Structure 1
Amino acid sequence: MNLKRRDLLKIVAAGGIASAGTRVFAQSEGPLRIGVLCDFSSVASTSGGKGSVAAVELAVEDFGGQALGRQIEIVSADHQGKAEIATGIAREWMDTKGVEAFFDLQISSCALAVMALAANKNKIAVVSNAHSSQITGKSCNPTSFHWTYDTYGLSTVQPEVFVKMGKKRWFLLNPDYAFGISLENDFKKSLEGRGATVTGSLRVPLGSPDFSTAVLAAANSGADVVQVGLFGTDLLNFIKTARQFGLDSVVTLATTSMSIVDVQVLGLESMHGLYANEVFYWDQNDKTRDWSKRYMKKMGSPPNGERACGYSAVMHYLKAVAQAGVVDATQVAKAMRSIPVNDMMSNNLTVREDGMCVRDFHLFKVKAPEASKYDFDMYDYVSTVAGPSTVRSPSESECALIKS
């Protein structure tokens, strides 16, 4: 069959029209959906749930509600602290709702499972509410990020401060799963490197009904400091028991996973004198106060660091989508690593190749009731450890992205 030149031009033109039509279709796609997966109903719900969703809603609102001409929609669900439920929801969202990115990902086992699934499907996963070192360690991947801190960071702040005070004997109490095991191991290395001694350690299962054994073990350990890596209702129940037994009168109680949310639940009368690590405190400066007031209008109380980091993570993701010009996770991930992190809690922060957003870490002490001057005035500032000191050096990293 012989084609005349004008017929060939018609075919080429038709192809051009088809291509243009494809581009128009891409630009007029349905909503850009992002997923918030966290605990709404079990042990960690006090630091996740509706509060995590509220922070993400503020980020979408501040970004203008659209990205690449598409409305941004948030879907959320309760993974109940179980990895198999988390991955089941994530898989369904990707298959039926077209979710492009996952946020919060509370509880390390859930985070690690969703990270692996998302990477396999070329989707973004940004962890802001789980803290295992595996996230940016041996389980790192090109499309996953860690937006708050890990167990290595948690293990630097308190030893740095307390060992210098002469408190060199430590008892370690942590939850018996991925996060707690990682935290215990990192604390042991951190303390050993500072010339301190671990007098004993204990791991307890999530949702433990009784903490009297743990309190007695800590009291009899001869420690100067009891590091408490419990969180949520487990942390609150431990503190109640510790107060009843008078443990706080003989040792320093240093919590590594307590937040202002927990202080609100038990009140200053029960929590005063405890130490807490935070990357964010609502009353730090004008920017944090202004943003937190908006959050409080939604939730009635200030955000914890994990929820603030969830806001930061979504804002940075959307900026990266805008810069990349596509939602393809590979290209968005490159943009997320290339642009600085700036928001109400972040000032030109960097994102490492392993996906870690490098933040300063602060140590606070819970105020006595009489020292609190206004609503939610709960912390006294103690010290700060600069961001680079709160992350593993490249030579120590188990992440293949750094070693390659």
Structure 2
Amino acid sequence: MRKFLLAGVALATLASGSAYAQMSDDVIKIGMLSDRSGIYADINGEGSAIAARMAAEEFGNAINGTKIEIIVGDHQNKADIAANLARQWIDTEKVDVVADVPNSAAALAVQGITRDKKRLFLMSGPGSTDLTGKDCSPYGFQWTWDNHAVASATARALVEQGRKSWYFITADYAFGHSLENEAAKTVKELGGTVKGSVRHPLGASDFSSFLLQAQASGADVVAFANAGGDTINGVKQAAEFGIPQSGQTLAGLLLNVNDIHALGLETSQGLMLANSFYWDMNDETRAWSKKFEERTGRKPSMNQAGVYSAVRHYLKAVQEAGTDDADKVAAKMRGMPITDMMMKEAKIADNGRIFADMYLAQVKTPAESEHAWDYFKIVKTVPADQAYIDPKNSGCPLVK
């Protein structure tokens, strides 16, 4: 009898252990790589890490008894630092997935490393369409938005209102160049013209010379092809120069609710923008955003909401697959629709682009705003297949 009991215990141990054997290193490790101290710290940064933790907590911080661990790093908006951190995390700390990574240059560097080392990459900050285009990866997923979606929707809305001549003030790196190109393409397709552009360094504090050139162009629209602190500084200084008062329209091609909070409604009222998420859309978004605000003191940006959605879907795929093996989890992620407080039945294309609806919004006037963070009027829903580039036209070699 004792022998039978021991044999039974041994078999039970093997059976229960088989589920865990599929998890590498007895931990599911997520590396949150973000800008924690620069111009994107407000729209990503610590808020992205908190959003990832909120997703992990929905699983009890463990899957089938395997602990979920989240580590955090700052890439300082430098591609080499991002690449080195990603490589170190994968090689020495056994990170299973890298997430967030605002800054397209940094993301493109990390995309190459995660592709080579077969680790998943969940992007909720970079906008370059190359990430799901010529530089796509079977392990890379671009979650929240991209330059085509935000720039094209905003440009189309303004040109259709009769604002047909444009001048761009552009961040001088991969993200800014791509953002300008996508907007300019839409302007020209709709019969508009581009009167010129000027490029500024990342993290610029003085936009005066750039604004003077934009003002002198006489363009209907002065468009900021930048983000975060650069957009905030540019729009504030444009208002001081009297550019909106003189009849030129200001357009931020990538704006988050946090940017409007920093600018104030007096300065930003009337701005058009495209977002994939707004905290005040429905009861579900309001409930999640309330939990986020209790931890951060502010409402979430679309980037931070996207981190939550991406990490949650990844963990759900790990749970369904019973493993954290990158190839098996990636296949499971592609096979399941994404449904959460941010997205409903969203699909993942062969090039890693997540297809979910975008929303065209206009910033409220101070008189229209009823309380703190009540900033957006949703003007139009842009269906996913209209918001994003058709994968067949993306240039991604993975597309069948």
Shared fold per TM-score greater than 0.5: yes
Aligned partner (choices 316, 319, 322) of residue 319 of structure 2? 322
What is aligned with 1:6?
none
| Change beyond 3 A, Cα 1:241–1:65 | same
What is aligned with 2:397?
400
Does 2:46 correspond to 1:50?
A: yes
Following TM superposition, by how much is the alpha carbon of 1:87 offset from its aligned partner in structure 2, in angstroms? 1.4
| Change beyond 3 A, Cα 1:21–1:287 | closer
Q: In structure 2, what is the Cα distance between the partners aligned to 1:333 and 1:341?
A: 13
Number of equivalenced pairs: 388
What is aligned with 2:344?
347
Following TM superposition, by how much is the alpha carbon of 1:354 offset from its aligned partner in structure 2, in angstroms? 0.3
Does 2:274 correspond to 1:252?
A: no
Identity of aligned residues (%): 39
Following TM superposition, by how much is the alpha carbon of 1:17 offset from its aligned partner in structure 2, in angstroms? 11
Q: Are 2:227 and 2:255, in contact at CA under 8 Å, matched by a contact in 1?
A: yes
Q: Are 2:22 and 2:325, in contact at CA under 8 Å, matched by a contact in 1?
A: no
Following TM superposition, by how much is the alpha carbon of 1:352 offset from its aligned partner in structure 2, in angstroms? 0.3
What is aligned with 1:138?
134
What is aligned with 1:337?
334
Q: In structure 1, what is the Cα distance between the partners aligned to 2:151 and 2:41?
A: 24
What is aligned with 2:302?
305
Following TM superposition, by how much is the alpha carbon of 1:38 offset from its aligned partner in structure 2, in angstroms? 0.4
Which amino acid is the alignment partner of residue 59 of structure 2? Answer: F
Give the secondary-structure state (helix, strand or coil) at the position aligned to 1:167. coil
What is aligned with 1:218?
214
Which amino acid is the alignment partner of residue 309 of structure 1? Answer: G
Give the secondary-structure state (helix, strand or coil) at the position aligned to 1:198. strand
Q: In structure 2, what is the Cα distance between the partners aligned to 1:128 and 1:139?
A: 17
Deviating 4+ runs (over 4 angstroms): 16-22
Give the secondary-structure state (helix, strand or coil) at the position aligned to 1:342. coil
Stretch moving more, 103-112 or 246-255: 246-255
The CA RMSD measured in Å over matched residues stands at: 1.9
Does 2:180 correspond to 1:184?
A: yes
Q: Are 1:146 and 1:357, in contact at CA under 8 Å, matched by a contact in 2?
A: yes
Larger Rg: 1
Give the secondary-structure state (helix, strand or coil) at the position aligned to 1:369. coil
Structure 2, unmatched stretches of 5+, are: 1-10
| Change beyond 3 A, Cα 1:27–1:188 | closer
What is aligned with 1:359?
356
Deviation track 1:2-58 (CA, whole Å, cap 9, x = no partner) reads xxxxxxxxxxxxxx9998798376268522110100001122212121111111111
Q: In structure 2, what is the Cα distance between the partners aligned to 1:71 and 1:17?
A: 21
Does 2:162 correspond to 1:170?
A: no
Give the secondary-structure state (helix, strand or coil) at the position aligned to 1:341. coil
Does 2:108 correspond to 1:89?
A: no
Which amino acid is the alignment partner of residue 315 of structure 1? Answer: R
Does 2:285 correspond to 1:288?
A: yes
What is aligned with 2:8?
none
| Change beyond 3 A, Cα 1:389–1:21 | closer
Does 2:76 correspond to 1:80?
A: yes
Q: In structure 1, what is the Cα distance between the partners aligned to 2:251 and 2:242?
A: 15
Q: In structure 2, what is the Cα distance between the partners aligned to 1:169 and 1:120?
A: 44
Q: In structure 2, what is the Cα distance between the partners aligned to 1:17 and 1:343?
A: 36
Aligned partner (choices 13, 18, 23) of residue 18 of structure 2? 23
| Change beyond 3 A, Cα 1:159–1:232 | closer
Structure 1, unmatched stretches of 5+, are: 1-15
What is aligned with 1:200?
196
| Change beyond 3 A, Cα 1:301–1:243 | same
Question: Counterparts in 2 of 1:230-245, with a 5 A limit?
Answer: 230-245=226-241
Which amino acid is the alignment partner of residue 287 of structure 1? Answer: E
What is aligned with 1:368?
365
Q: TM-score, normalised by structure 1?
A: 0.92
Which amino acid is the alignment partner of residue 201 of structure 1? Answer: S
Q: TM-score, normalised by structure 2?
A: 0.92
Following TM superposition, by how much is the alpha carbon of 1:379 offset from its aligned partner in structure 2, in angstroms? 1.4
Q: In structure 2, what is the Cα distance between the partners aligned to 1:27 and 1:138?
A: 33
| Change beyond 3 A, Cα 1:392–1:99 | same
What is aligned with 1:272?
269
Q: Are 1:163 and 1:196, in contact at CA under 8 Å, matched by a contact in 2?
A: yes
Following TM superposition, by how much is the alpha carbon of 1:74 offset from its aligned partner in structure 2, in angstroms? 0.5
Aligned partner (choices 103, 109, 115) of residue 107 of structure 1? 103
Which amino acid is the alignment partner of residue 188 of structure 2? Answer: E
Which amino acid is the alignment partner of residue 45 of structure 1? Answer: A
Deviation track 1:320-378 (CA, whole Å, cap 9, x = no partner) reads 11222211111111111111000001100111000000122212222222221112111
Q: In structure 2, what is the Cα distance between the partners aligned to 1:252 and 1:243?
A: 11
Q: In structure 1, what is the Cα distance between the partners aligned to 2:55 and 2:111?
A: 22
Q: Are 2:129 and 2:146, in contact at CA under 8 Å, matched by a contact in 1?
A: yes
| Change beyond 3 A, Cα 1:387–1:376 | same
Which amino acid is the alignment partner of residue 218 of structure 1? Answer: A
Q: Are 2:159 and 2:190, in contact at CA under 8 Å, matched by a contact in 1?
A: yes
| Change beyond 3 A, Cα 1:162–1:33 | same
Q: In structure 2, what is the Cα distance between the partners aligned to 1:215 and 1:351?
A: 40
Give the secondary-structure state (helix, strand or coil) at the position aligned to 1:219. helix
Following TM superposition, by how much is the alpha carbon of 1:313 offset from its aligned partner in structure 2, in angstroms? 0.2
| Change beyond 3 A, Cα 1:304–1:211 | same
